């Protein structure tokens, strides 16, 4: 498992500092032009560090992993809103891309997003992981060679997501997500996993067997993966 480099940190804050350092080096070396971004609570300390830093992203094109279907950009539940709030309103980028979950033709939107990814190959992709081992919204059972597609969220993920919604609000059950193959296309992957809830997924990954039941395990087939975690593993 030489392709997985593990950085053990004390807490998410320290993890965010590590990400900041890696991004700084990649920016300075000129290797970073296209950056894949993620949402979720794991990413908040990372984006806080970036916005408080003097990192210059003005030449960087970004692609987000995923977006809920049927949730407008103006809704605090959309990933577009999350990105504006935590990063895009505070730092200048050359161009930011997020799948349009309100698109009339979702299949066309997925194809267009995948085409853009081919045009702008990802230099780095940031990743969190779901408790069930999903990456982006590639849930267990998703074909390992999938590209950007419409995903049905599992009961497990809906349960985790319910904490962000009020009782009378409908939790989105579908999303547009980069596929596992789209993600693996990035030159470098940085996976962040903090807290006991992520232990099962990280343990599966470190067991060393690629299985569609744990999408995270596909990272074993990539040759440049950095795992930043506070878990003793």
Residue 125 sits in the site that holds ligand GLP (CB under 6 A): no
Least Å from the CB of residue 54 to ligand GLP? 26
Q: Which of 4, 71, 129, 225 touches ligand GLP (CB under 6 A)?
A: 129
Site mask, ligand GLP, residues 76-115, x = CB under 6 A? ----------------------------------------
Query: Is residue 66 involved in binding ligand GLP (CB under 6 A)?
Result: yes
Question: Residue 167 CB: number of other CB atoms within 10 A?
Answer: 5
Cα 52 from chain centre: 21
CB-based contact 156:131 (threshold 8 Å): yes
Told to judge if 139 belongs to the known catalytic residues of this protein, a careful annotator would answer yes
Q: Between 145 and 184, how does the x/- string for binding to ligand GLP read (CB under 6 A)?
A: ------------x---------------------------
Only one of the segments 5-13, 90-98, 130-138, 199-207 lies at the binding site for ligand GLP (rule: CB under 6 A); that segment is: 130-138
Q: Active site residue: 64, 86, 132, 138, which one?
A: 132
E strands, the chain, where?
Answer: 4-8, 34-37, 61-64, 66-68, 95-97, 124-127, 149-152, 174-177, 188-193, 225-229
Report helix, strand or coil for 95: strand
Burial class (CB within 10 angstroms; exposed 0-12, middle 13-18, buried 19+) of 105: exposed
């Amino acid at each position: 498992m030489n392709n997985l480099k593990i950085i053990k940190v004390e807490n998410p804050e320290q993890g965010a500092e590590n990400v900041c350092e890696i991004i700084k080096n990649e920016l300075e070396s000129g290797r970073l032009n296209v950056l894949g971004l993620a949402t979720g609570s794991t990413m908040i300390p990372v984006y806080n560090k970036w916005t408080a830093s003097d990192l210059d992203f003005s030449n960087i094109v970004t692609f987000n992993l995923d977006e809920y279907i049927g949730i407008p950009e103006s809704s605090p539940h959309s990933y577009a809103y999350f990105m504006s709030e935590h990063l895009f309103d505070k730092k200048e980028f050359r161009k930011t891309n997020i799948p349009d979950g309100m698109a009339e033709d979702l299949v066309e939107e997925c194809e267009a997003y995948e085409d853009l990814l081919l045009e702008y190959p990802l230099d780095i992709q940031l990743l969190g992981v779901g408790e069930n081992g999903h990456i982006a919204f590639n849930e267990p059972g998703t074909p390992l060679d999938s590209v950007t597609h419409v995903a049905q969220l599992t009961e497990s993920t809906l349960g985790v997501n319910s904490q962000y919604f009020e009782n009378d609000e409908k939790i989105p059950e579908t999303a547009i997500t980069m596929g596992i193959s789209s993600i693996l296309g990035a030159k470098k992957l940085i996976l962040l996993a903090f807290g006991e809830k992520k232990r099962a997924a990280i343990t599966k990954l470190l067991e060393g067997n690629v299985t569609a039941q744990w999408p995270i395990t596909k990272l074993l087939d990539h040759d440049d993966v950095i795992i930043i975690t506070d878990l003793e593993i």
